[in-house]
Amino acid sequence: DAGVIQSPRHEVTEMGQEVTLRCKPISGHDYLFWYRQTMMRGLELLIYFNNNVPIDDSGMPEDRFSAKMPNASFSTLKIQPSEPRDSAVYFCASSLASSGSGNTIYFGEGSWLTVV
Amino acid sequence: AQTVTQSQPEMSVQEAETVTLSCTYDTSESDYYLFWYKQPPSRQMILVIRQEAYKQQNATENRFSVNFQKAAKSFSLKISDSQLGDAAMYFCAYWDNDMRFGAGTRLTVKP
């Protein structure tokens, strides 16, 4: 399996611009997570989906952030407008929510975002 | 909400020695999953080991093992015969409907 695929791997953008991060989960996985990692806050869960439906978005920092999962194989995390404090590594992860798999989450390689 | 606490921001071990990383968590659930993830400088999150709460036997994966104390809500990771490639950030994580991570422990391996 190709694993969780994220794009872009690196992005540098100017403050105020729209940023869209993309994720393709592992085929067959029914949970998808978006995490943000910074030095100050560590790993934060932003939002997660189950069967394409957002279950908990309480970690989304503010209205500038939005996430969608139009189908089982694709999700986006959008920041509009972006600010320098949004600079972080954004991870997408997926899991198969069955007891047999032990709910192991598999991570993508992350999208490194720098907002200048 | 559950919380995961890693009380050791940094740890150091001599190559070939053994090191134990600590983790405690808070939950009112009886059935859940616990994990240790490794994050090397590449930032890739790599699963090291997992433990199902209803299994009393401690999980083991080659040089990695856990000491799971359910009553104490403790889940420590032991790395035996440490290797230079073990140097990384280690995150303890708890799963119950979603995954929550501790703040991490940075492990340095000295040659």
Q: What is the DSSP string of A35-93?
A: EEEETTTEEEEEEEEETTEEEE-TT--STTEEEEEEETTEEEEEESS--GGG-EEEEEE
Query: Is B69 an interface residue toward A (CB < 8 Å)?
Result: no
pLDDT digits (tens, 9 = 90+) for A5-18: 999 999 999 999 99
Query: Is A98 an interface residue toward B (CB < 8 Å)?
Result: no
The encoded tokens of residue B108 equal 């340095």
Vertex B9: Cα angle to B42 and B20 (nearest 5): 90
Query: Is B106 an interface residue toward A (CB < 8 Å)?
Result: no
Query: Is B50 an interface residue toward A (CB < 8 Å)?
Result: yes
Bridge partners (DSSP) listed for residue A95 = A31, A105
**Whole-number pLDDT of residue A1:** 60
Where residue A96 falls among pLDDT bands split at 50, 70, 90? confident
Contact call for B98 and A106, based on CB within 8 A: no
Query: Is B101 an interface residue toward A (CB < 8 Å)?
Result: yes
Does the N-terminal peptide bond of residue A61 adopt cis geometry, omega within 30 degrees of 0?
no
**Whole-number pLDDT of residue B70:** 93
Where residue A99 falls among pLDDT bands split at 50, 70, 90? very low
What is the mean predicted confidence (pLDDT) over A86-113? Answer: 85
Amino acid at B77: L
Interface of A with B in 20-59 (CB under 8 A): 33, 37, 42-43, 45, 48, 55-56
Chain A residues in contact with B99 (beta carbon < 8 A): 33, 45, 93, 95, 103, 105
Which residue on chain A is closest to B6 by alpha carbon?
A42
Q: How close, in Å, is residue A2 to chain B by CA atoms?
A: 15
Query: Is B75 an interface residue toward A (CB < 8 Å)?
Result: no
The encoded tokens of residue A101 equal 């798999």
Of B43, B47, B103, the CB nearest to A110: B43
Q: Which is nearest to A91 in space by CA: A7, A1, A2?
A: A7
- Average pLDDT of chain A is 92
CB B104 within 8 Å of CB B96: no
CB A61 within 8 Å of CB A77: no
CA distance B73 to B51: 12
Q: Does residue B37 have a pLDDT over 90? A: yes
